[in-house]
Structure 1
């Protein structure tokens, strides 16, 4: 079976809230995958035999999650950055830590999910999200939050204390915000992002830490904590078990 995976990166103001839109096709028999933590939450639409079957919202993962993609199945997804959780969703994302929730009402209009067409999905979802974001910015967002997430996602290994100083928001207040909104501390979230940022290197056969880890032992320990296995096993990726490492566009 050949994996078919596409990503579309948003531009403009949408980039503050959305990591990417993605499509995954299973062109063969039923396939088992393991999803490993990447620091995002998602809205996922599943299709079986060209017909929309399920829509669900995931929380943030701090542990690996096994999933099954049915025979000839197709999945569309929106991978969200954390800022979207507070302003674009009626659900409490913190209650979905390591969980997913089947939802009846789609994030955007229902027509977005009825057509089995990725470009249509992107276009409709983008229009819907931009409309909501315009309303948010009209009411003003705490500039500290915008700055905090801008720094978090720039792939530099900042500590909680460094982020606190740069944003002008106490570490205690930031951690309270993270626990209340997302269900985990900023410190743990930064560890997840640090591992996520190494997945591409691991998929390319780089099995020693290039940055952000103290040493080889620390690297292996952190990767195993959040993925359930070693960098070597991730690289080997037998039977395309780890979906993110099987898709070259993942970053």
Structure 2
């Protein structure tokens, strides 16, 4: 398989973490995707044409996927605030699943899909233009997600509430209504995901994020279905994210 990822910057980085491309060769690939606190727009390309477009929800557990042979996937990895200000909808019903979108979505059928850089640059321009047309973005939500992604879940619900002057009850109602889970669950997912790069490179007990080894193992297994040791060993290249994080 071939994989690459391009990170964003500027205004759009508050809504999109990165663009990625994955390509299979002459056989079908089977992987498990682990929670990362994001949701994806995925363009499936076969025979140099867009065959399908998917919008996923947020994964709160490991998800098994199969990718057909001779297939390219180009994805946009969105932060949660994008659900409201780019897609303008709740993605609660998409939690741990996906839905198919029209192949005309974002004018994709007219985009240079054969060139990853040109395709993602064109998408960036379209999304950036739509963001500039938004009259107002709720400052509490904007700062909420900035804080969560920067600190990668290493903050309490109380600290967040006090920082942005938004009650914890209201924040949790917002999360459950929009995404289908609580703020605390989201913080735990971000914290779990932040440990993957350390695990991939053999550090099976991150020094700061968890109280002790038992708590660490319990939390990792809750969201990935595997122990840190299983993730590190990654038998049969089972966990796709661990493959892309390992330093060779």
* Secondary structure class of the residue paired with 2:76: strand
Q: TM-score, normalised by structure 2?
A: 0.94
- In structure 2, the partner of 1:129 is 127
Q: Which moved more, 1:164-173 or 1:88-97?
A: 88-97
* Secondary structure class of the residue paired with 1:28: coil
Unaligned runs of 5+ in 1: none
1:16 is displaced (CA, Å) by 0.3
Following TM superposition, the consecutive aligned residue runs of length 4 or more in structure 1 with deviations greater than 4 angstroms are: none
1:120 is displaced (CA, Å) by 2.2
Q: Deviations over 1:82-120 (max 9, x none)?
A: 110111114421110111001115542133556232112
2:236 to 235, 239, 248: 239
1:68 is displaced (CA, Å) by 0.8
- In structure 1, the partner of 2:42 is 44
- In structure 2, the partner of 1:154 is 150
Equivalent positions of 1:169-208 (< 5 A) are 169-208=166-205
Q: Distance in 1 between matches of 2:88 and 2:158?
A: 31
1:110–1:197: structure 2 CA closer, same or farther, 3 Å change rule?
Answer: same
Instruction: Please provide the CA RMSD for this pair.
Output: 1.7
Equivalent positions of 1:1-251 (< 5 A) are 3-104=1-102, 106-111=104-109, 115-136=113-134, 139-155=135-151, 157-248=154-245
Q: Deviations over 1:57-89 (max 9, x none)?
A: 000011111111111211100000011011111
* Secondary structure class of the residue paired with 2:214: helix
Q: Distance in 2 between matches of 1:103 and 1:249?
A: 33
* Secondary structure class of the residue paired with 2:150: coil
Contact 2:36–2:190 under 8 Å retained in 1: yes
Q: Distance in 2 between matches of 1:67 and 1:49?
A: 21
Q: TM-score, normalised by structure 1?
A: 0.93
1:201 is displaced (CA, Å) by 0.5
Unaligned runs of 5+ in 2: none
1:105–1:168: structure 2 CA closer, same or farther, 3 Å change rule?
Answer: farther
